[in-house]
Amino acid sequence: MNHPVIISTEELAAQSGNSNLAIVDCRFKLGVPDYGREAYLAEHIPGAVYAHLDDDLSGPIIEGETGRHPLPAVEIFQQLLSSWGIDSETTVVAYDDASSVYAGRLWWMLKWMGHDSVSVLDGDWRKWKRENRPVKSGEETRRHRPFVPVLRPEMQVSVDDVAANIAQGRWKVFDSRDESRYEGHPNPLDPVAGHIPGAVSAWFARNLDSDGCFLPPETLKARFDQLLAETLPEDSVFYCGSGVSVHNNLIALALAGFSELPRVYIGSWSHWISDPNRPVETTLP
């Protein structure tokens, strides 16, 4: 059954007290690892549990073998979802304060685990606060529920797949980072600047309006029709810096009405450049 990709603040507020609704606060800031948890403890949407990008939504970093945010082991993530009271009957709403960059990671991971009943909060925490909706402080917990994963490994591709694709051209590849990083300008996040050869720039922020809400579906459809050209979404691969912001593009594609979504290279640029023998392309003169 199809489930709404996004949920409005009004719709979420109307579901207050629903025991089959799990709200997950995914706030995070790169370089400030305690920010999200501290912000959650100070105030959050009532009923929400907290998910930390590094501790909960990522696995251990292995130098040369992973990017900055590899996926956690299935068994560990399964236990975490169970501890959050998520099972097959649970609807999940994820939010952050960064236009669903971090909430989108959880959205995709749940689908990867076979759970489709998940939405992200459109306009995120900032819209909830602007509207003076209820908040709560301190840590919250939910009653344990057994989560049973039905893994979808086909949703991602490996670095070897991406490397082979440069010659084979099986997929059209898209880079979700901002244009400056794609072009090859120096950036503190990227020890090596540039992009995967042949990749097309598709900065995720262009899916959003000035308030951090997703653009209307018809606008997103026009954007991705132009980017994809004659390529079907399922014949494409999207990546970003470390497998996080890329998911904003997948949310936007789903909003635009595409029934099949691209594969994701989770290791992304941070993994690609860990091997100096992998080719790099820039658009700088």
Its CATH architecture, for the domain 6-151, is: 3-Layer(aba) Sandwich (3.40)
Summarised one tens digit per residue, pLDDT across range 43-55 is: 999 999 999 999 9
Please compute the mean of the pLDDT values over residues 85-112 and round it to a whole number.
98
- Residue 69 pLDDT grade (very low, low, confident, very high; cuts 50, 70, 90): very high
- Give the model's pLDDT for residue 285: 74
Summarised one tens digit per residue, pLDDT across range 170-206 is: 999 999 999 999 999 999 999 999 999 999 999 999 9
Do 6-151 and 156-272 have matching folds? yes
Extract the tokens encoding 151: 């893994």
Candidate list 240, 255, 264, 266, residue with the active-site label: 240
Q: Quick one: 156-272 is in which CATH superfamily?
A: Rhodanese-like domain (3.40.250.10)
Which has the closest alpha carbon to 12: 96, 132, 120? 120
Residue listed under structure tokens 């799990």: 22
How far is residue 7's CA from residue 250's CA, in Å, rounded to a whole number? 16
Please compute the mean of the pLDDT values over residues 49-68 and round it to a whole number.
97
Summarised one tens digit per residue, pLDDT across range 144-170 is: 999 999 999 999 999 999 999 999 999
- Give the model's pLDDT for residue 2: 60
- Give the model's pLDDT for residue 62: 95
Domain ranges of the chain: 6-151, 156-272
Reply yes or no on whether 240 is catalytic.
yes
- Give the model's pLDDT for residue 17: 86
Whether the pLDDT of residue 1 is over 60: the answer is no
- At 161, the amino acid letter reads D
Summarised one tens digit per residue, pLDDT across range 109-131 is: 999 999 999 999 999 999 999 99
> Is 0.85 surpassed by the pTM of this model?
yes
SS (H, E, C) 138-179: CCCCCCCCCCCCCCCHHHECCHHHHHHHHHHCCCEEEECCCH
How high is the mean pLDDT of the chain? Answer: 97
Q: Which residue has the higher pLDDT, 244 or 2?
A: 244
Phi-psi region of 121 (alpha: psi -120 to 50; beta: other; left: phi over 0): beta
